[in-house]
Structure 1
Amino acid sequence: MNAFRSLLVFTWLVVSLIPMGLGLLICSIFVGDRLLWRWFGVPWLSGVIGAARIVGGVKYRVHGQENLPTPDDMQRIILCPKHQSTWETFFFPAWMPRMLAYVFKQELLRIPVFGWAMGRLNMIHIDRSKRSEAWTKVARQGEVLMDQGKWIIMFPEGTRSERGSQGKYKTGATRLATLTGASIIPIAVTSAKCWPRGTFWFIPGTIDVSIGAPIPSEGRDQDEMMVEIEEWIESEMRRLDPEAYQ
């Protein structure tokens, strides 16, 4: 039954992506990325999360929502979530009160429709084989996007980690924060409980998303700051999903 429900969700995801993605591409000729996000991005992403909840049985609850700045607060913000699943890559842009800009590998731009649409939303795509050039682009474009009112989202582990495991936390986000004066919001998310890494099948249950208090970067060392972020996220992960860390 779980496999059948998962198949229904992913079928809807693919089928709905084609008209929404093509619509976004056509409209991008005439309007800017904020309208594209409002008309196409948020509705489609919210629909995927809704389908996973209603059909796939993947519910969620959010803790610490009060730690997010208000929509009219123009401070520079970088989100640093735990990365266990594809689920959070859909959830955060759909749920957050501000438009997000991902830092992602440019290979994703080659994915038909989905990648093409991402390329029209003014995010930060980088060539990871050229580390110096990639960082220069992140620093330059990240500051511009934050000043436009967008929040940057960077997964500090770089890639998805298995449930109960801990990847190496990289300092890209804290390096950007200390350079631009941004605050970092750490986020723990237990998505692997319901959508494990490397699979397309859902496990019905509830994903916990815990949002930490913003950590100012002024006067901070980037390595020390990332240690604080790592300790908060991993401690919170063990509190939210103790079975995975036995």
Structure 2
Amino acid sequence: MALIRSVVHMAWMVVTVIPWTFAVLLVSLFSRRAAWWTAVNWFSVVMWGTRVILGVQFKVLGYAHLPLGKSSAAVLLSKHQSTLETLLLPTLMPHPLAFVFKRELLKIPFFGWSMARLDMIHIDRESRTEAMKHVIEQGCRLLSHGTWVIMFPEGTRMPRGQKGTFQTAGTRLAVQSGAPVVPIAVATARCWPREGFVKHAGVVTVSIGPPLPSAGRDPKGLMREAEAWIEAEMRRIDPEAYPSV
């Protein structure tokens, strides 16, 4: 049954992404911000399918921690376990988001074409110095215009119950821009695995932490604080993944 649900859900994503891609391309000719919210509508359609077709329910904690105001800034640092959080988090946020991602993703038919028309930060990972400079420059520009920047500090999707090396690009941007860091823990891999096609019904939890001020902070120390909160929260919202704790 899980395999059949997964096949139907994939078909749902493929069928819906095509018209939405053309909508994003058209709207982007007039407004990048409007194009973002058009894309979020597709994310919401995918999440509807995730609930109805796959039987996955979402539990969101700490929503009140998000900064208030149209001009507020935030650098979101999230745990990364699967594709699910990249589709879900934009539907939860009150501001447009700019993802930091590798440029190769723009080559994906339809999805990548849409991403290319949005105000995102795509980088060349082969040049770390240039990539960092680009993240800081573009990130500060976007934050000053009300777009929040979201990054996955471990750099890649991590298997459930495992931890990667947290990189400081996000906290460097936060310190440079003065925006607070908002740590986010996600237990998505219990239903939508990092690898493999089959998804499973269940409840996934997203927990949003209190903003961490960045003014006058050392990026490494700020990242250690964000990392400590994320990893402790992961053990709280998904204890089955950490049996030795």
TM-score over 0.5 for the pair: yes
Q: Aligned Cα RMSD in Å?
A: 1.0
2:149 alignment counterpart: 152
SS at match of 1:192: coil
**How big is the shift at 1:4?**
0.5
Aligned length: 243
Query: 1:194 corresponds to which letter in structure 2?
Result: C
* TM-score between the two structures when normalised by the length of structure 2: 0.97
Say if 2:206 is the partner of 1:209.
yes
Structure 2 equivalent of residue 114 of structure 1: 111
- In structure 2, the residue matched to 1:47 is 45
1:2 and 2:10 matched: no
Deviations 1:206-226 (A, max 9, x none): 001111000001111111111
Asked if 1:128 corresponds to 2:125, the answer is yes
Aligned partner letter, 2:66: L
2:27 and 2:34 in contact (8 A); partners too: no
The corresponding residue for 1:24 is 24
Deviations 1:48-70 (A, max 9, x none): 11101111011111111110112
Return the TM-score normalized by structure 1: 0.96
Query: Which amino acid in the other structure matches residue 144 of structure 1?
Result: R
Q: Identical aligned pairs, as a percentage?
A: 49
Q: Distance in 1 between matches of 2:151 and 2:5?
A: 31
Query: Structure 1, residues 103-139: CA drift from partner, whole Å, max 9, x if none?
Result: 1100001111111110100110011111111111111
Alignment match, 1:166: 163
Output aligned runs, 1:53-64, within 5 Å.
53-64=51-62
Change (3 A) 1:95 1:79: same
How far residue 73 of structure 1 moved from its aligned partner, in angstroms, is 4.7
Question: Paired residue for 2:219?
Answer: 222
Structure 1 unaligned regions, length at least 5: none
Please list the CA deviations of residues 212-243 of structure 1 after superposition, one character each: whole Å capped at 9, or x if unmatched. 00000111111111111111000000011111
Q: Whole-Å Cα distance in 1 between the matches of residues 131 and 177 of structure 2? A: 17
